[in-house]
Structure 1
């Protein structure tokens, strides 16, 4: 850990981990490792099942496959360094490596939000315009929506990195966090950071307002269509197709909202609590999403059961 009081460009940062809980880092590594392992296993399994099962080659599952790829990237951006801090006391991260990590974490987070919007639109079309589902959500349209989500996030986050590169870091290089988070890095600068703050808040508010707004509109339309159905069984079936998506929305946006608010207005919230929730925001959704979709989606659930139990049944019969 070294201060930089000369105004010379920093070559590295020092990620402190979770301040106040340093003596528990080894214990905290257990849930981090389990969540990351679950994310790798679950999302790879989802991708493999969708890839191999031709009956799942539908827009809903293509979006789910995109979400799984993004969740792999999102969890892999902070988790290895977090485990390196907790297990090996390896706190140093190069300046450029920190900016790369920052860029990827926030880019994949924005992509995650956009994919949830796309999946909400998929449910809206499936329930409100079922006869036009295949003509509206063609393979070309699905790919285009995925590309738009990726390009939007990549372009939005690029100015953040450029603006940070233009800052002067002359006080210290200690980041009180488990990973390179945008505002945590900006706060270390001794030059004027007003543009960084304004741009960072603007991007966060724009993404949340736009994406949550679009998701809300989709579900208002869905609920209107569902309650016009005459059969309770039909209503339950229609709402059941949205259950996994709603769970994914809650596990993504609730920790993200808490992290955003505590970082900017939660002065009385302990830094350790904020950092734990910021880590949960990146690690829990990628680990939980495969479980939710595996449990709530019959085709995927049946395929998982077949993969893991069919060989055992065959062996027992021999």
Structure 2
């Protein structure tokens, strides 16, 4: 990676939302900060509930814990920089720092996809092979699969960075986005992007559609198995056990598939609209996921209520003593 290759570009400038008027920048930064605060608070709460309640030490909740870790890391990778742009007018990011951010953006997106794959696997085995489930999917098994997902997911984005870093960047250094990603960076290279863009797109499709294919298969098998249950109460109970994960998976995949499909059938968006859509499907699920877990997952909902009651009782006792 010769330094001469990119000697003319030493830093990049993130535009954020290009069409955002100056009077709304303070509001935008406040909203983004609120999103970041709620995301971190909600997902840290998941960690706290898991640590203080042994009843949550089950395969499904180990998977949720991995997803929460991924959500916190992704939000921390992307949001502070764009918030500082609007708060402190600091939209610049160093050349190397941009590639580091690019790596983590694609790495954590890949991890997220793999973790959702594990979610679907968990429900598939729990409903379609309920008798074998305790033997096949133990906590130790989920731990091994989770570590494997985090390790394997690093290879594709590392490959993207290794190929993109040494390209000659001698033109504009303005990235029309809220964070550094492969497309945003490589379009600025003074070379033909085809040999780099097409393999990156193919890799992204494999990372996205590979897990999605199994997810669709697993939930198709689940619905087929549930239909065969003659007891209505049993049928509803079986569906409710996978409804939480299905909502989370839908929030992750549906907007992404819509964007990819729209771009392939000729539907075009303005840069502002495209960035807003990307930010919504990137940042909304990490913020809303903890709420979905606590409202829909019975054990986690009960654990949260237990902690709130304990906190309320502690405050009442302290007040009465004074």
Q: Same fold (TM over 0.5)?
A: yes
- Cα deviation, residue 139, structure 1: 2.5
Deviations 1:131-157 (A, max 9, x none): 111210122321221122212220011
Q: Structure 1: 5+ residue runs without aligned partners?
A: 1-5
Match in the other structure for 2:16: 17
Match in the other structure for 1:80: 80
Match in the other structure for 1:242: 242
Equivalent residues of 1:263, 1:274 under 8 A apart: no
Match in the other structure for 1:208: 208
- Cα deviation, residue 266, structure 1: 5.8
Matched residue SS, 1:77: helix
Match in the other structure for 1:52: 52
- Cα deviation, residue 26, structure 1: 1.5
**CA–CA distance in 2 between the matches of 1:29 and 1:262?**
29
Number of matched residues? 313
Match in the other structure for 1:33: 33
Equivalent residues of 2:6, 2:166 under 8 A apart: no
**CA–CA distance in 2 between the matches of 1:53 and 1:104?**
31
- Cα deviation, residue 260, structure 1: 4.2
- Cα deviation, residue 234, structure 1: 0.5
Equivalent residues of 2:15, 2:91 under 8 A apart: yes
Match in the other structure for 1:135: 135
Match in the other structure for 1:103: 103
- Cα deviation, residue 263, structure 1: 6.6
Equivalent residues of 2:12, 2:92 under 8 A apart: yes
Root mean square deviation, CA, Å:
1.8
Q: Structure 2: 5+ residue runs without aligned partners?
A: none
Deviations 1:74-113 (A, max 9, x none): 1111010011112111011001100000100111011101
Match in the other structure for 2:159: 159
Matched residue SS, 1:192: coil
**CA–CA distance in 2 between the matches of 1:22 and 1:81?**
19
Deviations 1:114-170 (A, max 9, x none): 101101100011111111112101223212211222122200111110111121111
Match in the other structure for 1:192: 192
Matched residue SS, 1:50: helix
Match in the other structure for 1:286: 286
- Cα deviation, residue 316, structure 1: 4.1
TM-score, length basis structure 1: 0.93
